[in-house]
Amino acid sequence: MSIKPLAKYFFMDSYYTASTPTRPGFEALKGSINADVCIVGAGYTGLSSALHLAKRGYRVVVLEAETVAFGASGRNGGHVGTGQRMEQQDIERKLGHETAHCLWNMGLEAVDNVRDLILQNAIDCDLKYGDVSFAHKLRYCEDLEADVAFFNNRYNFNDLEYIPRNRINEVIESDAYYGALWNKAALHLHPLKYALGLAKVAMDAGVTIYENSRVQSYSGTPVIIKTDQGQVTANELILACNGYIEDLEPKINGYIMPINNFVIATEPLSPEVAGSLVPKDTSMADSRFVINYWKLSADNRLIFGGGENYRLGFPGDIKSFVQKYMLAVYPQLTNTQIEYGWGGTLAITLNRLPHFGRINGNIWHLQGYSGHGVPTATFAGKLVAEAISGKHERFDIMANLPTGKFPGGTLLRWPGMVAGMLYYAMRDRF
Ligand SMILES: Cc1cc2nc3c(=O)[nH]c(=O)nc-3n(C[C@H](O)[C@H](O)[C@H](O)COP(=O)(O)OP(=O)(O)OC[C@H]3O[C@@H](n4cnc5c(N)ncnc54)[C@H](O)[C@@H]3O)c2cc1C
Bridge partners of 217?
A: 226
Q: What is the DSSP string of 212-268?
A: S----EEETTTEEEE-SSEEEEEEEEEE--GGG-TTS-HHHHTT-EEEEEEEEEEPP
140 located within any domain: no
136 located within any domain: no
Q: What is the pLDDT of residue 409?
A: 63
Given the CA of residue 369, which atom of ligand 1 is nearest to it?
A: 19
* 245-to-152, 281, 365, 371 alpha-carbon distances in Å: 39, 35, 11, 16
Q: How far is the CA of 243 from the centre of ligand 1 (A)?
A: 6
427 located within any domain: no
Atom 35 in ligand 1: residue holding the nearest Cα = 41
Mutate to test the pocket of ligand 1, among 75, 126, 244, 253 (most ligand atoms within 8 A of CB): 244
Residue 27 carries which DSSP code? P
295 located within any domain: no
* Domain membership of residue 200 as a residue range: 7-76+192-253+350-407
Given the CA of residue 70, which atom of ligand 1 is nearest to it?
A: 49
31 located within any domain: yes
Mutate to test the pocket of ligand 1, among 242, 291, 365, 372 (most ligand atoms within 8 A of CB): 242
- Burial class, 28, CB count within 10 angstroms (exposed 0-12 / middle 13-18 / buried 19+): middle
310 located within any domain: no
Instruction: Answer for the pair 354, 378: CB distance below 8 angstroms, yes or no.
Output: no
Q: Characterize the bridge pairing of strands 230-239 and 60-63.
A: unpaired
Cα angle 19, 24, 26; round to 5? 145
113 located within any domain: no
pTM given for the model: 0.95
Q: Which residues line ligand 1 (CB under 6 A)?
A: 3, 40-46, 63-66, 70-73, 75-79, 214-215, 240-245, 248, 261, 263, 293, 305, 344-346, 369, 371-374, 377
Q: What CATH number corresponds to the domain at position 245?
A: 3.50.50.60
Specify the 3-state DSSP secondary structure of 178: coil
Bridge partners of 38?
A: 61, 237
Rounded to whole angstroms, the Cα distance separating 386 from 57 reads 12
The number of domains in the chain is: 1
Taken as a whole, the chain contains a residue count of: 430
- The region, left, alpha or beta by phi > 0 then psi within -120 to 50, assigned to residue 83 is left
146 located within any domain: no
Show the low-confidence residues of the chain (pLDDT under 50): 1-10
Bridge partners of 161?
A: 182
